[in-house]
Amino acid sequence: MDAKSKAIISHLFGIGWLIALILNMNNKEEFASYYIRQNLGLILIGFALGIVGWIPFLGWLIGLVGGILLFVFWLMSLIWSIQDEMKPVPWLGDKFQEWFKSF
């Protein structure tokens, strides 16, 4: 499987990310690894927003706005992976590359 396919599969939430990670372990490709790291960060942000969402009112508001932003960032990342461009998601994308460099 080529790097672009792995990168696109990594955008299919948790199970797609795990499949892309396993496929990329045997034959690491930088393009696929880049988007695996980006999506791991987005998945973790999603979990954090889910936890924050349990806080009455303020948590709901943060969860709603954060969820919308998270969806937009995920969509941007998916489009960039389809276009063969390695662009980080806004704000934390560069940090995701640094934090998850072992992937």
Tens-digit pLDDT profile for residues 1-35: 899 999 999 999 889 999 999 999 988 999 999 99
> What integer is the mean pLDDT of 46-61?
93
Would you state the pLDDT for residue 14?
87
Closest alpha carbon to 34 in 69, 85, 83, 75: 85
Q: Do 103 and 40 form a contact (C-beta atoms < 8 A)?
A: yes
End-to-end CA distance of the chain: 18
Q: Tokens at residue 72, please? A: 């937009």
